[in-house]
Amino acid sequence: MTRFFRQLLGLATLAAATACLALAAGGGAAPPDNIAEALVEAARACKDMDGTPNTDAVLTTEDVNADGGEDWIADYAKVKCEGGINPLCSTAGCTLQIYFWDGGTSWDVVFEDLVRSYKFGTSGGKRMLYVITSGLPCNKPVEETCKYTYRLEKDTVVPVE
């Protein structure tokens, strides 16, 4: 196969993956380029580990910081890697990324960490993120856990003491 046709096939594959991402995100909304690329990289990492990736459930949208715009949540615990292992998970947890809408045409990563679980909530009228990680971040054995609370501001995530 000539180099040109390999490149054309690669572009067609990327276009198909992006179209699938648009449908997987729900409501037909296509994820922004930076988020779509992160998802393509997750699928590629699964393939590199001899798996068959399914990233349909990874992305969700929700206005988590209550600024009126849809934010994107990429929960890589939901990557299915049939015949392989999820490359974005370890004994410490799975990668969670939260992208806040910037008020224009972009979404910025405001949170990225290995987590075992998370949930959004409200405290004192403020939007919050509650995270459970492995014990490593708080100097405990990996089997134990640490709990963290974050306040979700318009354009940032602030740790709460």
At 79-95, the pLDDT tens digits run 999 999 999 999 999 99
Query: In the prediction, which pLDDT does 52 show?
Result: 96
DSSP codes, 89-133: EETTEEEEEEEEE-SSS-EEEEEEEEESEEEEEEETTEEEEEEEE
Any idea which of 22-26, 78-82, 96-100, 104-108 has the lowest mean pLDDT? 22-26
pLDDT digits (tens, 9 = 90+) for 13-64: 333 343 343 334 444 579 999 999 999 999 999 999 999 999 999 999 999 9
pLDDT digits (tens, 9 = 90+) for 3-13: 333 333 343 33
